[in-house]
């Protein structure tokens, strides 16, 4: 079963081979660059076999993505 199918089954209150797994954490050095942050997130998701990614960088990266106050 794929990660997507596990997540879809969980949302539908269905049955999967196991619960969907994901993790979240900060990567302070990479969070200053959108491309570095994307690369490390994809790398970790693949390396650890996550079914989903909770993407939530620190507030300081908002400026890297163009946020203006």
| Domain assignments of the chain as residue spans, ordered by start | 3-59
If we measure between CA atoms, which residue out of 33, 36, 31 comes closest to residue 56? 31
Cβ neighbours of 51 (radius 10 Å):
19
CA–CA separation, 35 and 18 (whole Å): 32
Which tens digit of pLDDT belongs to each residue from 12-42? 999 999 999 998 777 878 877 888 888 998 9
pTM of the entire predicted model? 0.67
Helical ranges in the chain per DSSP H? 3-11, 34-48
The rounded distance, in Å, linking the Cα atoms of 66 and 20 is: 32
Residue 3 or 28, more confident: 3
**pLDDT at residue 68, as a whole number:** 61
Which percentage of the chain shows pLDDT scores above 70?
81
- Whether the predicted pLDDT of 48 surpasses 60: yes
- Rounded to an integer, what distance in angstroms lies between the CA atom of residue 19 and that of residue 59? 30
């Amino acid at each position: 079963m794929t990660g997507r199918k596990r997540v879809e089954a969980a949302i539908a209150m269905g049955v999967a081979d196991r619960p969907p797994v994901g993790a979240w954490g900060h990567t302070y050095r990479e969070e200053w660059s959108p491309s570095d942050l994307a690369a490390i997130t994809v790398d970790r998701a693949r390396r650890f076999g996550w079914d989903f990614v909770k993407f939530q960088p620190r507030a300081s990266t908002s400026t890297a993505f163009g946020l203006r106050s």
